[in-house]
Amino acid sequence: MDGTEKKSRGGSLARRLLAAAVFLPCFFIIAHRGGIYYLILVDMIIILGLFEFYKMMEAKGLRPYKWIGVLSGGALPWYLFFRQGIYANVLLTLTFIAVMIAELIRKDKGHAVYHISVTIFGVLYVSWLGSHLMLLRELPIIAGLDYAAGFTFVIIVFTLTWCCDTGAYIFGKMFGRRKLFPSISPGKTVEGALGGTFLSIVGILIARGLMETQLGIVDAVALAIAASVIGQLGDLVESMIKRDAKLKDSSTAIPGHGGILDRFDSLLFTAPLIYYALRYFVMKV
C-alpha cells in the first residue's frame, strides 16, 4: 500500500468516525424522546433514501415519478404513526393510481411498466420498510407497555444490525476465504456472514442484560440469528440495485459512509422482522 492510498483510507476512516460521532448521539437522544420528534427523524431518513433510490433509477435510464414517490412515501409514516391504517391503504391506492395516470398522459411514451414499477417499488422498499423503525418505537402503546420500552426495541434493532455488519467485516477480513455471493458483492464471504451472526448473538445477549426486555435467552438468540440472516440479505439487495445501476454508493450524503441507503439497507429488512417478531410472537398482540 503506497502513501497516497494510506492517506486516502485514513481520511475516509476519520470522516466515518466524525459522521458517526455526530449522528449517533443525535439519533439516540431523539429516539429516546420518541413521539413526533422521532417520527420526523425517521421521515427525513425515508425522504432522503427515496431521493437516492430514484436517482439510481435515473442513472439506469429510467424515469420514475420522483415527486409522486417522495411525497407519498414521506406521508406514509405519518399515517402509520396516527394508527389510521385504513388511510394508509387509501394513500397507497392513490399513489398507484396517480403514477399510472401520470404515465398515461406522459408525452414521451415507452417503457411505461418500468417507470410505474420503479416508482411504486421505491415507496414500498424505502418508505414502507423504513416506517417500521417508527412502528417499533410506538409498539409499547399497542402492547400496553411503558412507552419507554419502545426505545429498547429501537436499540435492539440497531444493536443486532450493527453487530452483524461489524462482525461480518472483521471476520471477513481475518478469515474470509469462500465467497458468499460473488455475482452481487465480491467482497462478502461465508466466514464473514457467520462472524456477523456470532457477534449479533453476543450483542443481543449483552443488550438483554443491560436493558429490561421481555426476551428470554432462547428468543433473543433466535431473533439474533434471524436478524443477521435477513439483514445480510438486505445488504445484498441494495448491492444488487447499485450494481444494476452501475454505482458504487447510493450517494455521498454521509461523509465516509456513502448514502442513506448504504447505511440503512440492512435496517430496512431487520426493522420489520423485529417488529413483527416482537408483536406477534413475543407480546402476541
Distance CA 43, CA 115 (A): 24
Q: Which long-range contacts (CB under 8 A, 24 or more apart) does 101-108 make?
A: 102/65, 102/68, 103/65
pTM of the model: 0.89
Distance CA 24, CA 1 (A): 32
Lowest mean pLDDT of 7-11, 52-56, 73-77, 184-188, name the range: 7-11
Phi-psi label, residue 180: left if phi above 0, alpha if psi -120 to 50, beta otherwise = alpha
Cα distances from 206 to residues 7, 159, 210, 220, in angstroms, run: 36, 10, 6, 10
Cα distances from 128 to residues 89, 100, 114, in angstroms, run: 11, 20, 20
pLDDT for res 139: 93
The SS3 call for residue 189 is strand
Q: What are phi and psi of 265, to 5 degrees?
A: -60, -45
Torsion sign, CA atoms 184, 190, 193, 197:
positive
pLDDT for res 254: 57
Q: Which H or E element spans position 220?
A: helix 217-244
In the chain, the DSSP E strands lie at 179-181, 185-189
Mean pLDDT across 72-88: 83
pLDDT tens digits for range 84-143: 556 778 888 899 999 999 999 887 777 899 999 999 999 999 999 999 999 999 999 988
pLDDT for res 146: 92
